[in-house]
Amino acid sequence: MTKLSTYEAAMAAYEPVLGLETHIELDTGTKMFCGCPTAFGAEPNTQICPVCLALPGALPVANRAAVEATMKIGLALNCRIAEWTRFARKNYFYPDMPKNFQTSQYEEPLCEDGYVDVAVDGDHYRVEIERVHLEEDTGKTLHVGGATGRIHGATESLVDYNRAGIPLVEIVTKPVPGAGDLAPEVARAYVTELRDIVRSLGVSDVRMEQGSLRCDVNVSLNRAGDAWGTRTETKNVNSLRSVERAVRHEIRRQAALLDSGEKIHQETRHFHEATGETSPGRSKEEATDYRYFPEPDLAVMEPDREWVERLRSGLPELPRKRRERLRAEWGLGELEMQSVVNADAVEIIEATVAAGASPTAAVKWWLGELSRRANETGVELGELRIGPEQVAELQGMVDDGRLNDKLARQVIDGVLADEGGPAEVAASRGLEVVSDTGALEAAVDEAIAANPDAAEKIRGGKHAAAGALIGAVMKSTKGQADAGAVRELILSKLG
Amino acid sequence: MDDRIIDRTAAGLAADIREGRATSRSVTEAFLDRIDAVDGEVGAFLHVDRDGALATASEVDAALAAGEELGPLAGVPVAVKDIVVTGGMPTTAASKILEGWIPPYDATVVERLQAAGTPILGKTNLDEFAMGSSTEYSAYRRTANPWDTARIPGGSGGGSAAAVAAKMAPLAIGTDTGGSIRQPGAVTGTLGAKPTYGSNSRYGLIAFSSSLDTPGPVARNALDAALLHEVISGHDPRDSTSIDAPVPPVAEAARSGASGDLSGLRLGVVEQFAEGAGAAEPGVLDAYLAGVDQLVKLGAEIVEVSCPSFSYALPTYYLIAPSEASSNLARYDGVRYGLRSGDDGRRSLEEVMGLTREAGFGPEVKRRIILGTYALSAGYVDQFYGRAQKVRTLIKRDFEATFEQCDALISPTTPFTAFKYGERTGDPYQMYLADLFTIPTNLYGGPGISVPVGLSDGMPVGLQVMGPVMGDDITYRVASALESTQDPLLADTAPEIEGK
Amino acid sequence: MARLARLEVTDDELDAFAGQLDVILESMQTLGEVDTDGVEPTSHAVPLVNVFREDQPQPSLPRDAALAGGPDTAEGRFRVPRILDDEE
């Protein structure tokens, strides 16, 4: 059992330093070095050719669109685009890598020295980017015979090379100190921002759940004033929420080790979604020596400045600017907008507004009730089984007086349970505001009769006492009355 | 004996076929029959594709009968070194690790041969993965030198050279990384040309050293080689290192060289090649110098040039080539194709990969993989691979400076004639010396040709002509001019192999 | 080195190689004599720049052809023995 400090104790004693390596699969039509298609979910080994299967004699030719997409990412991350850059071979043996070397970049990445600004709780952090380089993805290995589909305990493995050779952009941050106890949130905010930037560029669908955005999280701890500590690298952290959890867990785990005088090993660790914990990878007897050398099968690249400037001027509105625009359009305060961003709800709220809801209502639902539901079930907002159209429809029913907030929440229950759209759920569950005036009047009369003291106070001008009567009416109508209408009815009868 | 089909030149056979004096089928059959008769003794082929070759021949005959215009070598059969990928035909690189592999695609060179209507007779033997200078490192069979079957045919392309020398094929495809076309050409009395790097596609050429490998022609004379050169040359968008420029007019150069006039041409002799332990043995030197005299008589001017970095070409090559090879050969792991060894259901993948590579690779390949792995490893990469790349720059500069002073360089192709089997296998370094004069050109990237120039103790000697990048035509012109002084051509005087 | 190159080499082979490699490495050491200060390394025989292909799909291999060379295949995939390394 892993010893863990409490997060508060860890933060009282240590300062974390973060580092993030993000891999993004580009959604070019073809692979990095051959003309094979890149569709997700194809039958195994149907999108492979002599080049990406590394048949003897086959040679790579670089995909111009992938190089261009990488430069766009670099430009959007405020990087310098290299005037001279090349591919290099990273040599190591692994069965999902057909050539047993990965064509990557080494000392001369395509883009260098950029930054991304993120905001958490009103504070701004600049995450500096060390490099953005282009490489190729590996195939996928299915482990057979083990209990969990994991490598451990498997008796054999089956390899599918469809993914092998898909262009992969690696974005590496410089070490990020100074985030303090917000380190987990800063890590998450960075990955979110990066994802939104890349999505706005239209060069990747950046879907973490499909593995087109994958994150390796580096964490180290040091006491204030000391040199940075030894870092661990947690591999393949594949959701925004997991990024935050992985950082938090590593901080607590490392703090406990340091507290008891133990050393942190520089190692690769794995993140487990189910438990939110990390576990060590198999430690190697010797450090891997990748024996990088320049790829002799590919020409060097010299992106001319005219090309770079054309790409720069063609960049779309980036998320930061877009958020400023939307904030103004929606009439939100800065902190409120930040909450929207941190909840990863910009897109979804924009879509909800587009579907007809007012910005205020859209923000209220997504940041309130729906965020709560997402948290409860441990999913992202986008993964909830209710979408922007349905939320707009729901709000329309509220605006029309057919639902009140309480009923609307019950309708959400139904939608989340796949019972249909809001209107269907309201109908099938019988969730409608009682608008039959006769029935409502009867309920009000009944409440007045049952609460003579309150009624007397209202007659005496104490309108605040109406609350008790409204409560009684709502109770007797099982919440299906419009509270405003009930109030008016009570006041008119007792006024 | 000149009536035999197999004695005729490729150019002559092409004309016969084109003009209706012979059919491609009859010509192809003649060479297939010759293979049947003598290859048991020579051992040049690893695979003979009688049916495929005859099918192509018949197609050519039908196309000609229908009045179609075909290329200049249509109907003339070719042998292909077994490191060039042939779809549907076994391709082994003479290695156990690829035993039984049938490629699902064709090399660009092979596609171009097919488009040119040249029937493919089969696949020729080589040193495993083209690593060697004697073809003794083939995992499958020994290839004899047709001039003396107790001797090696050179390497790595000993099979292609021996096939042409023994008239089992009028033409063959070779590949040259450090001399593997030219050195076998020299020791078998055939003509071998290494084209400018990048002018011939490497797509489908099983990689040994990516920055050095070049496919090229083997023939018995310069014009035949030039015709084949033009068939396989030219830009290929599937090879990123392929040069997008017109192919030098090599056939035209071979024809003009045949007039025997080299006046106005300056040929450089490299001072450093005459020095040290690697200098040519006396018999080789005599034959070579006699050839130089002939070139002077034809009007060439000889100038001495200095290329100080050439003294370091051999170690430079033996760092760069094994480094690239160690990476290129990593893919042979028993997962996607080829041999798998030791998979008993209990061993891990890592163990099985190791056992597969142990069982599948021969000693020279292992030696070079280890050498290359070492040269690239952390702590040594600057001292070895990195330094070799810098010295390579100096060698290129020496060439470039030299071509300011002369049109081409000449040298013996190899320091010694064909040696006896087993003479050098125990001492890899002695074997490496065979490529002493051919390696610099590979490091530079320019063209080199080896043309038969004479005999030493009855064994052929080659003269090498080295040109500037994309100056392949000059090398053909000199080779062709030298041939014009021989009657009969040296290549046609090989002892007859009786066979069965 | 053999392990890095994933070669299971026998002890006899290793002994032979060691001696041979010494001779070769001795020759390599002579490169140390060359003054290479300020010299750019050459990684390509003929320098070309910006060689790209357009993002146009080409046919992949039919799956049967792609798998045909595999020593062991199952369920449309290449089967391999259990993997020790825990690196994904």
- Read off the pLDDT of residues C44-74 as tens digits, 9 standing for 90 and up: 998 899 999 999 999 999 999 999 999 999 9
Given this model, what pLDDT does residue C17 score? Answer: 83
Alpha helices in A332-385 (DSSP H): 334-342, 346-354, 359-367, 369-377
CA distance to partner chain C, nearest, from residue A231 (Å)? 18
Mutate to test the interface with A, among C63, C78, C79, C80 (most CBs of A within 10 A): C78
Chain B contact present for C18, CB below 8 A = no
Residue ranges, comma separated, of all CATH 1.10.10 domains in chain A are: 437-494
CA B31 to chain centre: 20
Given this model, what pLDDT does residue B5 score? Answer: 96
Alpha helices in B361-465 (DSSP H): 363-376, 387-405, 428-432, 439-444
Please, are residues B467 and B199 in contact by the beta-carbon 8 Å criterion?
Answer: no
Mutate to test the interface with C, among B371, B432, B433 (most CBs of C within 10 A): B371
Residue A444 to residue A440: CA distance in whole angstroms: 6
Residue A160 half-sphere exposure toward CB, CA atoms < 13 A: 16
Nearest to A48 among C66, C79, C82 (CB): C66
Q: Which residue has the tokens 């053999």?
A: C2
The strand order across the sheet containing A293-294 reads: A101-104, A88-91, A293-294
Chain B contact present for C71, CB below 8 A = yes
Please, are residues A170 and A23 in contact by the beta-carbon 8 Å criterion?
Answer: yes
Chain C contact present for A298, CB below 8 A = yes
- Widest CA span of chain B, in angstroms? 72
The CATH code for residues A437-494 is: 1.10.10
User: B375 to chain A: nearest residue by CA?
Assistant: A291
Is residue B498 in some structural domain? no
Please, are residues B213 and B202 in contact by the beta-carbon 8 Å criterion?
Answer: yes
Given this model, what pLDDT does residue C88 score? Answer: 40
Touching subunits of A (3+ CB pairs, under 8 Å) are: B, C
Contact yes or no for C23 and B428 at CB 8 A: yes
Percent of chain A whose pLDDT exceeds 70:
97
Percent of chain A whose pLDDT exceeds 90:
70
Is residue B337 in some structural domain? no
Residue B324 to residue B347: CA distance in whole angstroms: 30
Of the candidates B24, B134, B156, B326, the residue annotated as catalytic is B156
Mean pLDDT computed over A10-24: 96
Residue C12: give the domain boundaries: 1-29
Residue B477 to residue B397: CA distance in whole angstroms: 24
Question: Which of A253-257, B317-321, B466-470, C8-12 has the least mean pLDDT?
Answer: C8-12
pLDDT band at residue A149 under the 50/70/90 scheme: low
Is residue C23 in some structural domain? yes
> Which position has the higher pLDDT, A420 or A435?
A420
Q: DSSP code of A343?
A: T
What's the total number of domains in chain C? 1
Task: Flag whether pLDDT at A152 surpasses 80.
Answer: no
DSSP codes of every residue in A429-479: HT---B--HHHHHHHHHHHHHH-HHHHHHHHTT-GGGHHHHHHHHHHHTTT
**Using H for helix, E for strand and C for coil, what is the string for B159-180?**
HHHHHHHCCCCCEEEEEECCCC
Please, are residues B117 and B97 in contact by the beta-carbon 8 Å criterion?
Answer: no
C-alpha R_g of chain B: 21
Residue B412: give the domain boundaries: 5-307+397-493
Nearest to A48 among C4, C48, C60 (CB): C60
Contact yes or no for C41 and B197 at CB 8 A: no
Residue B68 to residue B52: CA distance in whole angstroms: 21
Given this model, what pLDDT does residue B2 score? Answer: 52
Chain B contact present for C14, CB below 8 A = no
Contact yes or no for C63 and A299 at CB 8 A: no
Touching subunits of B (3+ CB pairs, under 8 Å) are: A, C
Q: Under the phi-then-psi rule, with left for phi > 0, alpha for psi from -120 to 50, and beta for the rest, what region is B494?
A: beta
Is residue C74 in some structural domain? no
Nearest to B333 among A93, A289, A299 (CB): A93
CA distance to partner chain C, nearest, from residue B114 (Å)? 21
- Read off the pLDDT of residues A301-353 as tens digits, 9 standing for 90 and up: 999 999 999 999 999 999 989 989 999 999 999 888 988 987 889 989 999 99
Q: What is the pLDDT along chain B (500 residues), one digit of tens a residue?
A: 457 999 999 999 999 999 999 999 999 999 999 999 999 999 999 999 999 999 999 999 999 999 999 999 999 999 999 999 999 999 999 999 999 999 999 999 999 999 999 999 999 999 999 999 999 999 999 999 999 999 999 999 999 999 999 999 999 999 999 999 999 999 999 999 999 999 999 999 999 999 999 999 999 999 999 999 999 999 999 999 999 999 999 999 999 999 999 999 999 999 988 876 558 999 999 999 999 999 999 999 999 999 999 999 999 999 999 999 999 999 999 999 999 999 999 999 999 999 999 999 999 999 999 999 999 998 899 989 999 999 999 999 999 999 999 999 999 999 999 999 999 888 888 889 899 999 999 999 999 999 999 999 999 999 999 999 999 999 999 999 999 999 999 999 999 887 76
Contact yes or no for C76 and A35 at CB 8 A: no
CA distance to partner chain B, nearest, from residue A152 (Å)? 12
> Which position has the higher pLDDT, A281 or B208?
B208
Please, are residues B225 and B172 in contact by the beta-carbon 8 Å criterion?
Answer: no
B180 catalytic? Reply is yes
Q: How far is CA A143 from CA A47, A97, B289, in A?
A: 21, 16, 67
Mutate to test the interface with C, among A158, A268, A284 (most CBs of C within 10 A): A158
Task: Flag whether pLDDT at C87 surpasses 50.
Answer: no
Chain B contact present for C2, CB below 8 A = yes
Is residue B319 in some structural domain? no
> Which position has the higher pLDDT, A468 or B113?
B113
Residue A329 to residue A316: CA distance in whole angstroms: 19
Q: What residues of chain A lie within 8 A of the CB of C74, using their CB?
A: 158
**Using H for helix, E for strand and C for coil, what is the string for chain C?**
CCCCCCCCCCHHHHHHHHHHHHHHHHHHHHHHHCCCCCCCCCCCCCCCECCEECCCCCCCCCHHHHHHCCCCEECCEEEEECCCCCCC
Chain B contact present for C10, CB below 8 A = yes
Q: Which amino acid is at A113?
A: D
CA distance to partner chain B, nearest, from residue C11 (Å)? 12
Mutate to test the interface with C, among A26, A33, A45 (most CBs of C within 10 A): A45
User: A33 to chain B: nearest residue by CA?
Assistant: B238
Interface B-C: count of C-beta contacts within 8 A = 180
Contact yes or no for B387 and C85 at CB 8 A: no
Of the candidates B24, B133, B138, B180, the residue annotated as catalytic is B180
What's the total number of domains in chain B? 1
Mean pLDDT computed over A449-457: 87
Cβ neighbors of A287 (< 8 A, separation 6 or more) are none
Nearest to B105 among A55, A292, A298 (CB): A55
Q: What residues of chain C lie within 8 A of the CB of A158, using their CB?
A: 74-75, 77-80
Task: Flag whether pLDDT at A282 surpasses 70.
Answer: no
**Structure-block tokens of residue B45:** 């082929």
Question: Which of A42-51, A387-396, A474-483, B343-352 has the least mean pLDDT?
Answer: A474-483
Please, are residues B317 and B441 in contact by the beta-carbon 8 Å criterion?
Answer: no
Given this model, what pLDDT does residue B1 score? Answer: 40
Given this model, what pLDDT does residue B430 score? Answer: 85
**Residues in A 72-131 with any Cβ partner in C closer than 8 A:** 86, 93-95, 100
Given this model, what pLDDT does residue B277 score? Answer: 55
Q: What residues of chain B lie within 8 A of the CB of A298, using their CB?
A: 240
Given this model, what pLDDT does residue A455 score? Answer: 86
B201 catalytic? Reply is no
Given this model, what pLDDT does residue A292 score? Answer: 96
pLDDT band at residue A52 under the 50/70/90 scheme: very high
Is residue B248 in some structural domain? yes
B81 catalytic? Reply is yes
Cβ neighbors of A304 (< 8 A, separation 6 or more) are none
> Which position has the higher pLDDT, A288 or A18?
A18
Contact yes or no for C86 and A47 at CB 8 A: no
- Read off the pLDDT of residues B48-69 as tens digits, 9 standing for 90 and up: 999 999 999 999 999 999 999 9
Mean pLDDT computed over A19-37: 97
Task: Flag whether pLDDT at A285 surpasses 50.
Answer: no
Interface A-C: count of C-beta contacts within 8 A = 137
Nearest to C24 among B345, B371, B443 (CB): B371
Residue B263, classed as helix, strand or coil, is coil
Is residue C11 in some structural domain? yes
CA distance to partner chain B, nearest, from residue C3 (Å)? 8
Q: Which amino acid is at A245?
A: R
How does strand B78-81 pair with strand B171-176? parallel
Mean pLDDT computed over A196-214: 93
Mutate to test the interface with B, among C11, C28, C33, C88 (most CBs of B within 10 A): C28
Domain with residue B76: its CATH number is: 3.90.1300.10
Residue C17 to residue A306: CA distance in whole angstroms: 53
Is residue C82 in some structural domain? no
Residue A271 half-sphere exposure toward CB, CA atoms < 13 A: 26
Is residue B216 in some structural domain? yes
Residue B491 to residue B224: CA distance in whole angstroms: 12
Please, are residues A410 and A429 in contact by the beta-carbon 8 Å criterion?
Answer: yes
Please, are residues A440 and A486 in contact by the beta-carbon 8 Å criterion?
Answer: yes
Nearest to C52 among A67, A141, A236 (CB): A67
User: A158 to chain B: nearest residue by CA?
Assistant: B335
- Read off the pLDDT of residues B268-294 as tens digits, 9 standing for 90 and up: 999 988 876 558 999 999 999 999 999
Task: Flag whether pLDDT at A2 surpasses 80.
Answer: no
Is residue C20 in some structural domain? yes
Alpha helices in B298-337 (DSSP H): 313-328
Contact yes or no for B367 and C17 at CB 8 A: yes
Q: Select from A80, A26, A20, A21 the least CA-distant residue to A198.
A: A26
